[in-house]
Chains A and B, each alone.
Chain A
Amino acid sequence: MGSFEILDHTADVGIRAQGSSLEELFEQASRGLAEIIGIWAPVSAPKREGHLPAEQIVIDLGAKDLGGLLVDWLGEIVYLADVKESLLTHVDAEAVGEPGGAEAGGYTAAGRLWLEPRTGKQPEGTAVKAITYHRLKVAPTPAGWMAEVYVDV
């Protein structure tokens, strides 16, 4: 089981995530970000299947390194939070860290985000403007992987 925690920063907010695999790491960081924005509303798999109107967003990215890949992945959530009046109900990182991307010298990430329209009032979260490269870290640990990433709020 992975986990995440929020890191203190004077002006902005950081996320530290852990996972036994890169996939789990990306899922945990996504969850951390969605909680900051206030759009995290997990729905379990059986419910999700029959749950309409849900929307699946396919993510397929490449970047020159794993840090850049995480920034781009989380950037998809920031973008979706701005253009869709939706909640994020599930994150499925299917394959992260395969070779490819950034003119093939880098890595790729593929997966899906589940969204559901939010009804009623605006989220009580913190609007996130963007994901930064500041103090960005993705590194192996004895138990898998860890990442630190700061977001601009």
Chain B
Amino acid sequence: MSSSTEPRKVGEFEWEIPLGYVDGMRVPGHIFASDALFHKAAEDHSIEQVANVATLPGIVGASYAMPDIHWGYGFPIGGVAATDIAGGGAISPGGVGFDIGCGVRLLRSELPWNDIRTRLPGIVRSLRRMIPRGVGGKGRLQSGPHEMDRVLQEGVGYALVRGVGWEEDAEMTEDSGTLAGARPVYVSDRAKERGGAQLGSLGAGNHFLEVQVVEQILDAPAADAMRLWEGQVCVMIHSGSRGVGHQVCTDHLKVFDRVMGELDIVVPDRQLACLPVEHELAQSYLGAMDAAGNFARANRHVLADGARAAFEQVLGAGARDMGMATVYDISHNLAKIETYEVDGRPRELCVHRKGATRAFGPNHPDLPDRYARVGQPVMVPGSMGTASYVLAGLEGARGLSFSSTCHGAGRLMSRTKARKHMDGHALSRQLSSQGILLAGSSSKLLSEEAPYAYKDVAEVVAVCEGAGLTKTVARLRPVGVVKG
């Protein structure tokens, strides 16, 4: 017999974690998952983490988790939590994570795969030279201390001033490439120092740059608006704010951890340290978080410039002539102030998305005109060597998940287990036999990021569609992979 606080299935793709699953829950937990994905999530601590998040002061609706949920630190990866600001709602730096503003940019092209497939080895070699990566990799665009403040303040706008990228890239980036709330003054010297040399570098871990081919269009009107077609070559970039964001989170978390106790706020996991959004120190964090978010966007923007340069070098044509425009650029680790109707009236909420992607439906005022009719593009990177997806936001998700959807495949296996499963060289050979060229910096890292260490991304996006969060627009398969 299960007790009344045990998780229960409440819809085809929905599970509820009732109040009382952990002490202090203010709202239930709500997980979007198929039976199989839910049972995988139940194998580690992720369900407990969904319940822990439900204790945050001012949380409304539910503590949500997307189908790619897995065990994180504090928040589960795939977690979404909205707090009511006027009602004392809190912000938790752990609900954004250390890689503030981490996300995905997708570049399209006018290149048919069949026309350039023989040039792929050259393109991957060139990307390998152009794209700094790995532990402590130095970036493409060096900036001194004063310029660093401008990167943090202006995001993509700064890179454009430096002559990097195209004006229209900014329009196709969330918030037009610049988070207006950025306050570089709340970013420590140490954070600026960590990030100063890293603008335009991939980083390590699950970050990548991939040459992909659109394999299948699943929603023609949305694909038309995004100018995606079967057989088209694209470039997907997954990276974040590098050392800047890591240090911003570290610095502010330490302060939150101390001050929270003085305000008698109690959370079940120290990593969930939080303060009311209106608290002065929470405002400082938000200003620093937005600044790191700007760095992340500028970083992907500079990386995209490197990708264009690599294609230009090998194919001998200009990136504009090859149509290498930005489809969209969106974060999946960020907190944003957004307005939703709660209990019948509009409220200003602080929406944390930790490994979850904002997915606005059609006609949202924040979308570029191009996507007004079809909804916001969402890029879902698959694990290395497997398909990635492009989704589109749906209006109905406003009431289901505060307009949020999944962000990736979601890890299934720890890095240690993945390494034991197959070594990097064998994996590299296997991918190559599938026609995927790999340029990674370490055999150990390759084995840690192997496809079998992740959930099936196809199932994840199918659940998002089944649950009404997003619709699936296109599937892309990798042909060339540059790993961190």
Contact = CB atoms under 8 A, between A and B. Distances in A.
A132 interface: yes
A54 to B, nearest CB: 19
A135 B269 contact: yes
Contact of A129 (B77, B246, B417, B443): B246
Interface in A50-89: 63-64, 67-68, 71-72, 75, 78-79, 81-83, 85
Contacts, number: 121
B406 interface: no
A57 B180 CA distance: 38
B102 to A, nearest CB: 10
Given A11-B70, A122-B135, A152-B73, A72 B254 contact: yes
Interface in B68-127: 70-74, 77, 94, 97-99
A122 B136 contact: yes
Interface stretch (B217-225, B342-350, B375-383, B407-415): B407-415
Contacts of B261: 64
**Contact-residue size bin, chain B (C-beta under 8 Å from the other chain):** 35 or more
A63 B250 CA distance: 14
Interface string B241-267: 001001101100110011001000000
Given A79-B190, A82-B194, A131-B250, A126 B71 contact: no
Interface in A93-117: 102
A115 B17 CA distance: 49
Given A8-B416, A11-B70, A130-B98, A38 B135 contact: yes
Nearest to B195: A82
Contacts of B444: 124-126
Nearest to A84: B136
Interface string B10-22: 0000000000000
Given A11-B72, A133-B253, A134-B73, A123 B258 contact: no
B194 A79 contact: yes
**Contact-residue size bin, chain A (C-beta under 8 Å from the other chain):** 35 or more
A129 B39 CA distance: 29
Given A127-B205, A132-B271, A133-B273, A10 B413 contact: yes
A132 B415 contact: no
Contact of B412 (A10, A37, A71, A83): A10
A13 B415 CA distance: 8
A82 B72 contact: no
Contacts of B466: none
A139 interface: no
Nearest to A10: B71
Contacts of B204: 126-127
Contacts of A136: 270
A64 B97 CA distance: 22
B203 interface: yes
Contacts of A38: 135
Interface in B33-89: 44, 46, 70-74, 77
A127 B254 contact: no
Contacts of A135: 269
B448 interface: yes
Contacts of B46: 10
Interface string B112-152: 00000000000000000000001111000000000000000
A127 B412 contact: no
B277 interface: no
A150 B72 CA distance: 10
A10 B44 contact: yes
B481 to A, nearest CB: 18
A43 interface: no
Contacts of A6: 416
A129 B194 CA distance: 11
A12 B72 CA distance: 7
Given A82-B194, A83-B193, A130-B250, A10 B411 contact: yes
Contacts of A122: 134-137, 441
A38 B253 CA distance: 26
B70 A125 contact: no
Contact of B415 (A78, A102, A153): A153
20 contacts: A10-B46, A10-B412, A13-B414, A63-B254, A71-B254, A78-B250, A123-B135, A126-B135, A126-B205, A127-B135, A127-B136, A127-B204, A127-B205, A130-B249, A133-B74, A133-B269, A134-B72, A134-B73, A134-B74, A134-B269
Interface of A: 6, 8-13, 37-38, 63-64, 67-68, 71-72, 75, 78-79, 81-83, 85, 102, 122-127, 129-136, 150, 152-153
Interface of B: 44, 46, 70-74, 77, 94, 97-99, 134-137, 190, 193-194, 197, 203-205, 243, 246-247, 249-250, 253-254, 257-258, 261, 269-271, 273, 411-417, 441-445, 448, 484
Given A102-B258, A130-B249, 15 more contacts: A10-B44, A11-B72, A75-B250, A79-B190, A79-B194, A83-B193, A83-B194, A122-B134, A122-B137, A125-B135, A126-B204, A126-B415, A127-B135, A131-B250, A152-B73
Counting from the closest, the 3 A-B pairs by CB-CB distance are A134-B73, A127-B204, A133-B270
